[in-house]
Amino acid sequence: MLPCQRYLFDIPSNVVYLNCAYMSPLMKPVLEAGSQGLARKAHPWELTPEEFFAGSDVFRATSAQLLDCSSDCVAIVPSASYGLATAAHNLPVRKGQFILVLDEQFPSNYYPWQRLAAEHCAALKVVQRPENDDWTAAVLHDLSEDVAIAALPHVQWTSGGLLDLVRIGEECRKVGAALALDLTQSLGAIPFSVRAVQPDFAVAANYKWLMGPYTTGLLYVAHKWQGGIPLEENWIQRANARNFSSLILYTPEYENGARRFDMGERSNFALLPAANRAMQQILEWSVAEISETCGVLTRQLATAAAELGFSSPPEELRAPHYLCLRRKSGIPLELTNLLAQEKMFVSVRGSSVRVTPHVYNSSDDVERLIRCLRRIFAAWLAT
Ligand SMILES: Cc1ncc(COP(=O)(O)O)c(C=O)c1O
């Protein structure tokens, strides 16, 4: 378990922030890298053409380490939705086939498939929430030969349920389905390997578990699809982009690998240095250590919360960093506000409380949350 890393963050001592699945706080060195990057625009004469490529190269290389793939397979995108739209733009589906999604899947990984299915007289097949919390078994049950694409996450975002993507990847290859992944709620927090899972496309927004700024994201594109059609045709994707004086010698050639899928203005001088610094810190901590550290905290909380009538998926079926506590007999409507008044921050969805710690949290934070929940529930049950 990593020692608490709170000193790297600007979190006041009275704040208990347990909501990384909503948005991670920026680390001080990340803020510094971003501020320095933004300030560079005050002196544009100092920005050289090479710098349009250098930050992007670092971004690709660092992302590739987190994904376990070659940096040529990484495109720079602004959001998960952009990456998933790119996947939907390139993956084929025929009339009568299905696109597999999970019950309550995040909208950015639902709408593009809904539209693609409608455009091709195909249909969505929704894997229903399993009573026993075993999402992997439920997906494997529904993965049949008429499924053209499985569009899935690593962690189901409303339950914290963990999917065994290696097993699902194998089954996709067996039935001939493409695999498109949204890793926004998992990459950086639990180990993942492109080599082991072999997806066709995989995207993650950076602002949660990759601890970067908003409007940055990475997209993995398998070799097979690297000759595909990007959402945009911009100058920097093209083979002649490095020579600024010959940009209007239009060329049909793209830069190699997944670079053709890069968004316009991908060389963002403010955001990329910040995203790069954050991902480098994650690699320094190691994803396995982050996962282990968060797992200790969520285990402590799940055990204590059971006394208040909360249940959660069994440990082997949920992601260690992502605890969704459900309470059949309900929770106070104003729970989020009551907790916020005490400077405690979690997400509340319906009758479930989502608690998502990171390495800036400690078991003291968990104990404070539990004490506060006990007080709130005692007062609520007494009314
Ligand atoms: C599972 C999941 N995917 C993606 C996103 C963000 O999507 P986008 O980058 O399209 O805004 C979120 C945000 O909460 C999410 O929970």
pLDDT at 383: 86
Give nearest CA residue, ligand 1 atom 10: 81
Q: Which two tokens stand for residue 127?
A: 């894997």
Instruction: Count the Cβ atoms, other than its own, within 10 Å of residue 232.
Output: 12
Estimate to the nearest angstrom the gap between the alpha carbon of 11 and the chain centroid: 23
Determine which helix (DSSP H) or strand (DSSP E) holds 208, and give its type and residue range: none
Question: Ligand 1 atom closest to Cα of 105?
Answer: 1
In contact, 199 and 181? CB cutoff 8 Å: yes
pLDDT at 286: 98
Q: Identify the CA nearest to 106 among candidates 165, 38, 21.
A: 21
Q: Which two tokens stand for residue 88?
A: 């939907």
pLDDT at 344: 97
Query: pTM (2 decimals)?
Result: 0.97
Give nearest CA residue, ligand 1 atom 6: 80
Using the structure block, give the residue that is written with the tokens 């909208």.
107
Ligand 1 centroid from CA 21, angstroms:
9
Distance in angstroms (rounded) separating the CA atoms of residues 151 and 139: 11
Ligand 1 centroid from CA 382, angstroms:
38
pLDDT at 23: 98
Amino acid at 246: S
Ligand 1 centroid from CA 119, angstroms:
24
Question: What tens-digit pLDDT sequence spans the chain (383 residues)?
Answer: 899 999 999 999 999 999 999 999 999 999 999 999 999 999 999 999 999 999 999 999 999 999 999 999 999 999 999 999 999 999 999 999 999 999 999 999 999 999 999 999 999 999 999 999 999 999 999 999 999 999 999 999 999 999 999 999 999 999 999 999 999 999 999 999 999 999 999 999 999 999 999 999 999 999 999 999 999 999 999 999 999 999 999 999 999 999 999 999 999 999 999 999 999 999 999 999 999 999 999 999 999 999 999 999 999 999 999 999 999 989 999 999 999 999 999 999 777 899 999 999 999 999 999 999 999 999 999 98
Q: Identify the CA nearest to 191 among candidates 90, 286, 97.
A: 286
User: Which residues are CB-neighbours of 356 under 8 A, at least 6 positions away?
Assistant: 18, 19, 20, 21, 22, 294, 321, 322, 323, 346, 347
Phi and psi dihedrals of 133, rounded to 5? 65, 10
Ligand 1 centroid from CA 1, angstroms:
28
Q: Which two tokens stand for residue 334?
A: 């104003």
